[in-house]
Structure 1
Amino acid sequence: MLFLVAAGVLWGTGGLAGALLQDLAGLHPLAVAAYRLLIGGAIATVALAAQLQRLPRTRAVGRRLLTAGALLAVFQASYFGGVAMTSVSLATLVTIGSSPVIIAVVTAIRDRRMPSARTGLCITIALAGLGLLAGTPSARDFWHTVAGILLCLTAAAGFAAFTMVNRNAVPGLSTGGTISIGLLFGGLLLLPAALTVGMSLPMTPQVVATTLFLGAVPTATAYGLYLIALRQANPVAAALAAVLEPLTATVLSVAFFGERLATAGIIGAVLLGVALAVNYSAQSRSAQGEPVLPRPRTGAEVGS
């Protein structure tokens, strides 16, 4: 649970770092997303070079790495597309709010059982908190809003699928291998589109430091912690940890950028905290009424 909380908090620093990089370098959001995945994957690959040399060359490992990379690319590209079509607040609300709902629905259909009362309560409180925290977002017109929401729902589905696919380990594939190569592959998928909008990066100390931070902290480290935690937490609980991303970004904006939080936003932040407290109060998945998923098979490496 601590790893899930840490991942959500670190993701919250990524939005601000990405916005800062976009302003400093004049980059398109799609280029920022590509840099985030590529730099994060490169940093993780260098840090885990010795571990990656032992990576088995099997079809199961190849399929998992390709799937992880493709889902990361879909998530990043769709989310930033939704931001461009609507607004940051609306895109974040729809994407982060929809992910645990999608996972809960898919899990209920797969297991032929309704989610527990605790799960439903957590999701409801989290959605209410996100709505208050985001406020009433504005959009240019109706059709832009519809298109943007569809992109955000695609992003939410991508993140939900990433969470559920990586819930169980592949024999011989470590968390480090999944995150390093998965990030690199996702970045490579976005690279052609990012090159068309421009990826010129000024080599100033501030730009370089921001780029390295974006790749190392809210990307390589946060996704690594998230994947490790997935092996011990149920998918809905893991997806709910993502609500810490907008909450952290809001707190940092108020603390360091002088932004003011309205009363509704304060109430929303409190509701998010309540949702997380209710979610994490259970000491086991069975206490939450969620089905206990099988542990990885013996011999499967799950640590990074």
Structure 2
Amino acid sequence: MSVDMPTRARSSAALVLAGVLWGTGGLAGSLLAQLAGLHPLAVAAYRLLVGGGIATLAVLLKGGTFPRTAEAGKRLLAVGGLFALFQASYFAAVALSSVSIATMTTIGAAPVFVTLAAVRKPGRWTLVSVAGTVAGLVLLRWSPEEPAHLLGGLGFALLAAAGFATLTLLTAKPVLDPLATTAYGCLIGGLLLTPVATWTGMALPLHADVLAVVCYLGAVPTALAYAAYLRGLATAHPVLGALSAVLEPLTATVLAALLFGERLGVTAWCGAAVLVAALAIGYWRPEPA
């Protein structure tokens, strides 16, 4: 399927927006966990439930309705299950290893999985972009001081990557509007996570700052970001969608340096440069959609 330049530009802009907004989600989620004393699984459940609720309200305000076809219902159950799998596996990887290792492995492996599954014979520039993405993430997030036993979360990180890759491939052929898919998929995913999250404790202090962070986490890096991502995937190759996800750790790292004074070494800056270059190649020479 050929895609004209204006359509490609719009889809690329939507994918970039999603990646950048996801990068603010990590900081918002960490802040919520700190303010409310929540387990990461509870944060993930609130993120999906609030994000799904906000997106559902937007769908209804636009005159949309709940899906009534069997095909749409099956798609939403699959999307919701993948949301829950991705979130739960990622936070399990964080608990068993570290944020850096879990993020690097999950986001780095996802475009590899998508490329292997979606492209029978990847083009030269696609291979260069994927390889550069993995190398850039290693330079950006790898810490040689991490104890070796923290690699125990590798399996869950790869499971999270497989879940995200499957979500990307599944939603590349839309059945519903991206906003509706985001709305109902997040709600289903949040409901699936709630029983386990309740066991860890989901009591939420009714303080203004806590509620503000919850609303931001649900509205911006969840509802808006996933709606933009799914909209971009409608006309972009899935490989490009998976590559765009690396903007999440890149944005989070830069924001941490700017807002919290975290100092980045030469290696991390080199990794950021390699990531930007790899993404530029992916956008400049994408696989045909």
Q: TM-score range by the shorter chain?
A: over 0.9
Deviations along 1:125-184, one digit per CA (max 9) or x if unpaired, are 111110011122555553x523x11000010000000000001122xx221211100000
Cα distance in 2 for partners of 1:155, 1:138 equals 24
In structure 1, the residue corresponding to 2:114 is in which secondary structure? helix
In structure 2, the residue corresponding to 1:261 is in which secondary structure? coil
Q: Which residue of 1 aligns with 2:8?
A: none
Cα distance in 2 for partners of 1:83, 1:138 equals 16
Cα 1:228–1:197, aligned 2, differ >3 Å: closer, same or farther? same
Q: Which residue of 1 aligns with 2:129?
A: 122
Q: Is the 8 A contact 1:52 1:177 kept in 2?
A: no
Cα distance in 2 for partners of 1:175, 1:87 equals 32
Structure 1: runs of 5+ lacking an equivalent: 283-287, 293-304
Cα distance in 1 for partners of 2:144, 2:184 equals 36
Q: Is the 8 A contact 2:168 2:242 kept in 1?
A: yes
What pairs up with 1:102-113 in 2 under 5 angstroms? 102-108=113-119, 113=120
Alignment-mate amino acid for residue 122 of structure 1: S
When the two structures are superposed, what TM-score results if normalisation uses the length of structure 1?
A: 0.88
Q: Which residue of 2 aligns with 1:69?
A: 80
Is 1:270 matched with 2:287?
Answer: no
The percent identity for this pair of structures is: 51
Give the alignment partner of residue 190 of structure 1, picking from 182, 185, 193: 193
Q: How far does residue 54 in structure 1 lie from its aligned partner after superposition?
A: 3.4
Cα distance in 1 for partners of 2:254, 2:105 equals 20
CA RMSD of superposed structures (Å): 1.4
Q: Is the 8 A contact 1:7 1:223 kept in 2?
A: yes
Cα 1:29–1:235, aligned 2, differ >3 Å: closer, same or farther? same
Q: Is the 8 A contact 2:86 2:160 kept in 1?
A: yes
Q: How far does residue 273 in structure 1 lie from its aligned partner after superposition?
A: 0.6
Give the alignment partner of residue 54 of structure 2, picking from 20, 37, 43: 43
Q: Is the 8 A contact 2:67 2:73 kept in 1?
A: no
Cα 1:12–1:137, aligned 2, differ >3 Å: closer, same or farther? farther
Q: Which residue of 1 aligns with 2:173?
A: 168
What pairs up with 1:14-93 in 2 under 5 angstroms? 14-51=25-62, 53-93=64-104
Cα distance in 2 for partners of 1:275, 1:256 equals 26
In structure 1, the residue corresponding to 2:257 is in which secondary structure? helix
Cα distance in 1 for partners of 2:177, 2:154 equals 35
Cα 1:153–1:137, aligned 2, differ >3 Å: closer, same or farther? farther
Give the alignment partner of residue 234 of structure 1, picking from 226, 232, 237: 237
Cα distance in 1 for partners of 2:263, 2:145 equals 18
Q: Is the 8 A contact 2:49 2:186 kept in 1?
A: yes
Deviations along 1:249-280, one digit per CA (max 9) or x if unpaired, are 00100000010001100000000110111111
Equivalences, count = 278
Q: Is the 8 A contact 1:90 1:137 kept in 2?
A: no
Q: Is the 8 A contact 2:88 2:193 kept in 1?
A: yes
Cα distance in 1 for partners of 2:219, 2:67 equals 25
Cα distance in 2 for partners of 1:32, 1:54 equals 28
Deviations along 1:173-227, one digit per CA (max 9) or x if unpaired, are 2212111000000000000000000011111111010000000000000000000
Q: Is the 8 A contact 1:45 1:52 kept in 2?
A: no
Structure 2: runs of 5+ lacking an equivalent: 1-11
When the two structures are superposed, what TM-score results if normalisation uses the length of structure 2?
A: 0.93
Q: Is the 8 A contact 1:95 1:156 kept in 2?
A: yes
Deviating runs (4+, > 6 A) in structure 1? Answer: none
Cα distance in 1 for partners of 2:148, 2:248 equals 27
Cα 1:137–1:177, aligned 2, differ >3 Å: closer, same or farther? farther
Cα distance in 1 for partners of 2:63, 2:112 equals 35
Q: Is the 8 A contact 2:52 2:184 kept in 1?
A: yes
Q: Which residue of 2 aligns with 1:135?
A: 142
Cα distance in 2 for partners of 1:5, 1:261 equals 23
Cα distance in 1 for partners of 2:236, 2:281 equals 15
Is 1:220 matched with 2:223?
Answer: yes
Cα distance in 2 for partners of 1:140, 1:187 equals 33
